[in-house]
Amino acid sequence: MQPSSENLLRALDRAPTEDVVFDALLAEARRLGFEHCAYGLRLVVPVSAPKVITLNNYPVDWQARYQAAGYLEVDPSVRHGRLSQEPLVWTDGVFESARNLWDEARDHGLRVGWAQSSLDGFGVGGMLTLSRSSQPLTAVELASIESDMRWLVQAAHMALSRLMKPRYAVELESPLTPREIEVLKWTADGKTAADIGDILSISVPTVNFHIKNVVHKLKAANKTAAVVRALLSGLLN
Q: Using the CB atoms, write b or e for 96-126: b if 16+ within 10 Å.
A: eebeebbebbeebbbbbbbbbbbeeebebbb
* H or E stretch covering 56: strand 52-56
> Among positive and negative, which fits the CA dihedral 191, 46, 15, 9?
positive
pLDDT of 105 reads: 98
Q: Which CATH class is domain 3-168?
A: alpha beta
- Band (pLDDT 50/70/90 cuts) for residue 3 is very low
Cα end-to-end span (Å), the chain: 31
8 A C-beta contact, residue 236 and residue 188: yes
Neighbours of 93 (CB within 10 A): 8
Contact 114, 131 (CB under 8 A): yes
> Is the per-residue pLDDT at 95 higher than 80?
yes
Query: What is the percentage of the chain residues whose pLDDT exceeds 70?
Result: 94
Q: Report the sign of the C-alpha dihedral through residues 135, 140, 141, 147, in that order.
A: positive
Mean of pLDDT values over 109-138 = 92
Give 113's strand partners: 131
At residue 169, the pLDDT reads 63
What mean pLDDT, rounded, does the chain reach? 90
Please tell me the chain's helix, strand, coil percentages from 3-state DSSP, rounded to the nearest 5.
55, 15, 30
Does 32 have pLDDT greater than 60? yes
The CATH class of the 178-232 domain is mainly alpha
In this structure, are residues 216 and 208 in contact, taking their beta carbons and an 8 Å threshold?
no
Residue 10 φ then ψ, to 5°: -65, -40
> Where does the pLDDT of residue 170 fall: very low under 50, low under 70, confident under 90, or very high at 90 and above?
low
Radius of gyration of the chain (CA): 22
The average pLDDT across 41-50 equals: 74
Give the DSSP H/E element, type plus range, for residue 197. Answer: helix 193-200
Q: Where are the domains of the chain?
A: 3-168, 178-232
User: Tell me: the pLDDT tens digits for 52-74?
Assistant: 889 999 999 999 999 999 999 99
Q: Decide if pLDDT at 183 tops 60.
A: yes
Name residue 37's beta-bridge partners. Answer: 130
Q: What one-letter code names the amino acid at 206? A: T
Asked if the model's pLDDT at residue 1 lies above 60, the reply is no
